[in-house]
């Protein structure tokens, strides 16, 4: 026996499908934006914080979570960048800066290096460092 849907059932299914789609789109839009790896921003007039990370390690993911907790508070004031140490660009950056694979490198607006921070710091410590850098 073949069951056919009446108009009301079709409308109900369509409304449910559209509601699910709207919820998925809204959830996707609320996800944190990705991090740029454009190192040419260093020395271009704003404070820049570069995360060197290995996307395949827990430490790298935790450091990204740390940046995501503070990033919205510094929107337009600090450029947050991330470079993967397993790429030629990331490898060159870590070699040039003499840093390890999961660190935060803070640059002044003129491109001079202000600090190298352990990615294991907490959000309060990171905010303190960023606030100090912004009061240059």
For residue 123, give Cα distances in angstroms to 7, 62, 64, 136: 54, 11, 11, 21
N residues, the chain: 136
Q: With cut-offs at 50, 70 and 90, classify the pLDDT of residue 118.
A: confident
SS3 at position 71: helix
- Residues 25-37 have a mean pLDDT of 59
Structure-model confidence comparison of residues 18 and 40, the more confident one: 40
Question: Are 61 and 32 within 8 A, CB to CB?
Answer: no
pLDDT at 102 over 70: yes
Residue 9: the pLDDT is 74
Other C-beta atoms closer than 10 Å to the C-beta of 109 total 15
Alpha-carbon distance 113 to 132, whole Å?
Answer: 14
SS3 at position 36: strand
Structure-model confidence comparison of residues 33 and 35, the more confident one: 35
DSSP E strands, the chain: 47-53, 78-84, 103-107, 113-118
Other C-beta atoms closer than 10 Å to the C-beta of 14 total 10
Q: What are phi and psi of 80, to 5 degrees?
A: -100, 120
pTM for the whole structure: 0.73
Lowest-pLDDT range of 33-37, 68-72, 129-133:
33-37
SS3 at position 88: helix
- Residues 103-115 have a mean pLDDT of 94
**How large a percentage of the chain has pLDDT more than 90?**
46
């Amino acid at each position: 026996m073949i069951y056919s849907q009446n108009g009301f059932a079709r409308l109900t299914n369509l409304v449910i499908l559209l509601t699910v789609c709207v919820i998925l789109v809204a959830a996707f839009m609320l996800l944190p934006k990705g991090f740029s790896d454009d190192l040419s921003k260093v020395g271009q007039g704003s404070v820049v914080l570069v995360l060197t990370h290995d996307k395949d390690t827990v430490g790298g993911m935790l450091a990204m979570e740390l940046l995501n907790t503070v990033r919205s508070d510094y929107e337009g004031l600090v450029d947050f960048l991330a470079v993967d140490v397993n790429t030629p660009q990331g490898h060159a950056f870590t070699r040039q800066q003499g840093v390890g694979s999961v660190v935060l490198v803070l640059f002044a607006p003129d491109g001079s290096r202000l600090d190298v921070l352990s990615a294991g710091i907490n959000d309060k410590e990171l905010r303190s460092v960023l606030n100090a850098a912004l009061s240059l």
